[in-house]
Amino acid sequence: MKIVLLDTLTFGETDLSGFDAFGTVETYETTAPDETPGRIAGADIVVTNKVVITDRMMEATPSLKLICVAATGMNNVDLDAAEKRGIAVKNVAGYSTDSVVQHTFSMLFYLTGHSRYYDDYVKSGAWQRSPIFTHVGMPFHELRGKVWGIVGLGEIGRGVARVAEAFGATVRYYSTSGKNDNPDYEKVTLSRLLEESDVVSVHAPLNPATQNLIGHSELLIMKDGAVLLNLGRGGIVDERALAAILDAKPIYVGLDVLEKEPMSDPHPLMDITHKERLYITPHIAWTSVEARERLIAAVIDNIRTFLNA
């Protein structure tokens, strides 16, 4: 068997030796669209995280039997073409739930605890010159008694809800499909969620119903001092509207996902004045060491199951 891994840079230093058990392995840190056809030529199995596999590429690779998507979403593979050609496509679900939940709270506490401000205060030497033992230049609040609104109450959203409750917050949710009915939490409209929540976290997929779901008018109705966290998909929050609102309204925003990744240059969010209100991480919520190890183990398991079927 020939196994080709197209974008191993996304896995970091995770051990990939488990693939060797299946045959000859070729690995590439990154693969550009024009490089993909040549690299998968003669492959029996292709492993991709974000590299796109099209119908034309499948047609030119008659040896291809299995495409392993090292992610949950499979929008980078032409699934109809794969089915038509008898090529199996396997993804991995649930591997990053704990990692994303943890990063959600990491972003929240960085913003609400004003971590950057206090770290800078100490490292500037200002605390050494202080006449008192403490400093309360940037007040922060407890989560207990606050309202936490969740957009998209799937597995990750439910994980966030449980932790938020442990801190004493009241959880409400908005179902982007309208079909999710969870008796454990109050289901509300999006406008009510945004108007009444102290924290809003987004854990929904990107689709026609969620594209620019939170735009200028939605951001305007949020409470002053509220926190918005997007750990779902870029495109759910309108980035241009957000750039305008952040300098006009005192809300705090944490983004782990953007509409275009890597971030486009120039980008309106890079030019805001109130930079302390915005915290951006480069799509890392899913990337804990443990999550990446689970991901690779699950891809290997998918290959083993396919070959033994």
Question: Are 169 and 147 contacting, i.e. CB atoms less than 8 angstroms apart?
Answer: yes
> Closest by alpha carbon to 167, among 183, 148, 151?
148
Q: Based on the domain organization, do 166 and 302 belong to the same domain? A: no
Query: Of 226, 108, 87, 206, which is closest to residue 152 (Cα–Cα)?
Result: 206
- Taking 50 as the pLDDT cut, the residues of the chain under it are none
Give the per-residue pLDDT at 309. Answer: 75
Tokens of 226: 């509220």
CATH code of the domain covering residue 61: 3.40.50.720
Picking from 225, 244, 232, the residue whose alpha carbon sits closest to that of residue 103 is 232
My answer on whether 29 and 75 are in the same domain is yes
- Supply φ then ψ for residue 189, to 5 degrees: -75, 160
- 46 and 174 both lie in a single domain: no
pLDDT in tens, 210-262: 999 999 999 999 999 999 999 999 999 999 999 999 999 999 999 999 999 99
Are residues 196 and 132 part of one domain? yes
Dihedral class, residue 238 (left if φ above 0, else alpha if ψ from -120 to 50, else beta): beta
Catalytic residue ranges: 233, 261, 283
Task: Provide the domain limits for residue 76.
Answer: 2-93+289-308
Q: Are residues 39 and 111 in the same domain?
A: no
pLDDT for the residue numbered 252: 98
Residues 6+ apart with CB under 8 A from 101: 156, 159, 160, 163
φ, ψ for residue 133, nearest 5 deg:
-80, -15
Give me the pLDDT at residue 305, please: 97
Taking alpha carbons only, the member of 81, 73, 50, 72 closest to residue 64 is: 81
Residues 113 and 185 in one domain: yes
pLDDT of residue 15: 97
Domain count, the chain: 2
Q: Are residues 65 and 168 in the same domain?
A: no
pTM for the whole structure: 0.95
The whole-number pLDDT of residue 115 equals: 97
Residues 110 and 137 placed together within one structural domain of the fold: yes
**Whether residue 21 is found in the same domain as residue 126:** no
Report the pLDDT value the prediction gives residue 93, as an integer from 0 to 100.
95
Please report the pLDDT score of residue 214 as a whole number: 98
156 and 274 co-located in one domain: yes
Cα distance between residue 142 and residue 157, in whole Å: 21
At residue 32, the pLDDT reads: 97
Residues forming beta bridges with residue 147, ordered by sequence position: 170
Looking at the fold, whether 87 and 142 belong to one and the same domain comes out as: no
Residues 55 and 161 occupy one common structural domain = no
* CB 156 within 8 Å of CB 178: no
Tokens of 140: 């922060």
